[in-house]
């Protein structure tokens, strides 16, 4: 592997914050004290928090060094399946941090925040168009919260119809948060298995659907990267018994401008602005998880809603059937700005093109790797493909070892051991922003690793060797938790 991207470079060590610094240092320009000091009841006063004492230079070096130990999309290919690690345009960051937006107080009177309200109003409509739904709420702060809000809507809707139901159908190819979200609404998840083609068959749904089932949570495209072809049929079965079809739209990046979920029987769908709509993941948030619904669910959307009255935008709480609020204010506005400017930068044709190229990239990787790793479902995939370590197991090499070796080659590993329906899963989502050259390099790296697995498995078992730290002792971390210093 002489010519790979992976190299060691020079990484500097950096201690914990409180292991550096000096007594009396402060890295903060304290605003001027231009009023006198007033007395305070001594009983109220506490000890000074034990924070470190650092100069501005100390702080800057500390975090700059830390940042260099991280791998991001800007560093290289990050094919983490189900996470849509596409390029995060720099200009979006600039717009979100414009002082006029970043400095806005959420309780300013509506006439003083028209720009923000218009942006939200327009973005709601853009997302409704992309999903083929009728209305949108931008309030959920992340995909999992959007999912929870979506199930709450179904709960509130059924209740308004006098229907009390206790179960919800969750396929084995759905995202891991689905069962937990349904439990928070008091629903018992009923698992259904995908068929030999990796998708849900209408018969399987019909077998468990009854009048005690609130609905089904379908991830489409599913976590195997396959389109749920029977979605219309499934929708008819579920609706026939009074249930609702929830779609987990985390994988919407495969079908923008190609499939409108609202037109194929979906009642409510959540989106991840930090996946499909190019907002960055920030090392685990902030995200944004809007929900789009069809007309019959609109009265239940979270409040406040942005409405237009006589050419002006206002926030309205006047929705008596609303599930209420899920966020302190209106959601992650800063993330909404990024999605809004992304959609405007792309325009309708290039959004569709993005989905087409995301699917092209995933199929190209699948073709390139199916001779290297096991491909459990050999059929056209959407935006991601799932392979496994089945062939490498005879050399005592696992998915984890392959993933760790990819790090040495300069790639972020794919999602591993998910979805659970494939043993030793390797889930690859390249996204549309990776070029053919990069994909070719990735495929070559995988081929080379597969060869190493046969000829010199120690290289994989020892990997990674070029990273800041080697494999970490996760068992010790869990057995004797040290969660603060």
Min. distance of Cβ 52 from other proteins in angstroms? 6
Backbone angles phi, psi at 255, to 5 degrees: -130, 20
Q: Is 260 left (phi over 0), alpha (psi -120 to 50) or beta?
A: beta
Q: Closer to other proteins at the Cβ: 95 or 394? A: 95
Q: Closer to other proteins at the Cβ: 380 or 454? A: 380
Q: Closer to other proteins at the Cβ: 349 or 394? A: 349
Min. distance of Cβ 53 from other proteins in angstroms? 5
Euclidean distance between CA atoms 119 and 103, whole angstroms: 16
Min. distance of Cβ 51 from other proteins in angstroms? 4
Min. distance of Cβ 417 from other proteins in angstroms? 9
Min. distance of Cβ 14 from other proteins in angstroms? 8
Q: Closer to other proteins at the Cβ: 105 or 394? A: 105
Min. distance of Cβ 388 from other proteins in angstroms? 18
Place of tokens 């290039």: 350
Q: Closer to other proteins at the Cβ: 166 or 456? A: 166
State the angle between helix axes of 143-160 and 177-184 in degrees (0 to 180), rounded to the nearest 10: 40
Q: Closer to other proteins at the Cβ: 324 or 394? A: 324
Q: Which residues contact 261 (CB under 8 A, 6 or more apart)?
A: 131, 132, 133, 220, 247, 249, 269
Q: Closer to other proteins at the Cβ: 394 or 483? A: 483
Here the tokens at position 17 are 């914050």
Min. distance of Cβ 250 from other proteins in angstroms? 10
Min. distance of Cβ 485 from other proteins in angstroms? 5
Q: Closer to other proteins at the Cβ: 114 or 448? A: 114
Q: Closer to other proteins at the Cβ: 219 or 278? A: 278
Backbone angles phi, psi at 273, to 5 degrees: -65, -25
Euclidean distance between CA atoms 70 and 457, whole angstroms: 27
Q: Closer to other proteins at the Cβ: 193 or 329? A: 329
Asked if residue 415 lies in contact with residue 337, where contact means CB atoms within 8 angstroms, the answer is no
Place of tokens 């062939």: 391
Place of tokens 């990239």: 361
Element (H, E) at 350: helix 333-369
Euclidean distance between CA atoms 25 and 129, whole angstroms: 54
Q: Which residues contact 16 (CB under 8 A, 6 or more apart)?
A: 485
Give the HSE-up count for residue 261: Cα atoms under 13 Å, Cβ half-sphere.
34
Min. distance of Cβ 460 from other proteins in angstroms? 14
* Beta pairing class for 291-293 and 425-428: unpaired
Cis previous bond, 286, omega within 30? yes
Min. distance of Cβ 453 from other proteins in angstroms? 19
Contacts made by residues 450-456, CB under 8 angstroms, sequence distance 24+ = 450/372, 450/373, 450/391, 450/392, 450/402, 452/405, 453/392, 453/395, 453/397, 453/401, 453/402, 454/395
């Amino acid at each position: 592997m002489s010519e790979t991207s992976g190299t060691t470079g020079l990484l500097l060590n950096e201690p914990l914050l409180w292991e550096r610094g000096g007594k009396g240092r402060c890295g903060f320009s304290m605003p001027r004290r231009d009023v006198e000091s007033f007395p305070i009841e001594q009983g109220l006063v506490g000890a000074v928090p034990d924070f470190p004492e650092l100069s501005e230079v100390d702080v800057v070096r500390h975090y700059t060094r830390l940042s260099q130990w991280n791998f991001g999309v800007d560093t290289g290919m990050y094919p983490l399946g189900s996470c849509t690690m596409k390029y995060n345009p720099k200009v979006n960051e600039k717009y979100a941090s414009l002082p006029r937006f970043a400095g806005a107080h959420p309780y300013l009177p509506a006439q003083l925040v028209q720009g923000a309200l218009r942006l939200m109003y327009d973005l709601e409509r853009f997302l409704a168009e992309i999903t083929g739904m009728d209305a949108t709420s931008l309030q959920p702060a992340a995909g999992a919260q959007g999912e929870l809000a979506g199930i709450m809507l179904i709960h509130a809707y059924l209740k308004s119809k006098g229907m009390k139901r206790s179960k919800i159908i969750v396929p084995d190819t759905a995202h891991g948060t689905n069962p937990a979200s349904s439990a928070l609404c008091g629903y018992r998840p009923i698992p259904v298995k995908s068929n030999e083609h990796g998708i849900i068959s209408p018969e399987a749904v019909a077998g468990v659907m009854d009048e005690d089932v609130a609905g089904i949570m379908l991830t489409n495209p599913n976590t195997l990267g396959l389109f749920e072809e029977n979605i219309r049929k499934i929708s008819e079965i579920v609706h026939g018994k009074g249930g609702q079809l929830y779609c987990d739209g985390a994988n919407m990046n495969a079908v923008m401008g190609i499939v409108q979920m609202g037109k194929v029987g979906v009642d409510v769908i959540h989106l991840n602005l930090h996946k499909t709509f190019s907002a960055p993941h920030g090392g685990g948030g902030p995200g944004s998880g809007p929900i789009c619904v069809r007309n019959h669910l609109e009265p239940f959307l979270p409040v406040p809603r942005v409405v237009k009255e006589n050419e002006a935008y206002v926030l309205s709480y006047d929705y008596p059937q609303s599930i209420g609020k899920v966020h302190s204010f209106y959601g992650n506005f800063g993330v909404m700005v990024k999605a809004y400017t992304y959609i405007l930068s792309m325009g309708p044709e290039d959004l569709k093109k993005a989905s087409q190229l995301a699917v092209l990239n995933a199929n190209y990787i699948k073709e390139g790797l199916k001779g290297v790793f096991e491909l459990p479902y050999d059929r056209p995939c959407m935006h991601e493909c799932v392979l496994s370590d089945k062939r490498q197991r005879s050399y005592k090499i696992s998915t984890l070892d392959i993933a760790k070796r990819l790090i040495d080659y300069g790639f972020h590993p794919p999602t591993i051991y998910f979805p659970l329906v494939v043993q030793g899963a390797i889930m690859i989502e390249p996204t549309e922003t990776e070029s053919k050259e990069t994909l070719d390099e990735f495929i070559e790296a995988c081929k080379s690793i597969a060869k190493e697995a046969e000829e010199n498995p120690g290289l994989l078992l020892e990997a990674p060797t070029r990273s800041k730290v080697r494999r970490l002792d996760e068992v010790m971390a869990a057995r004797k938790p040290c969660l603060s210093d």
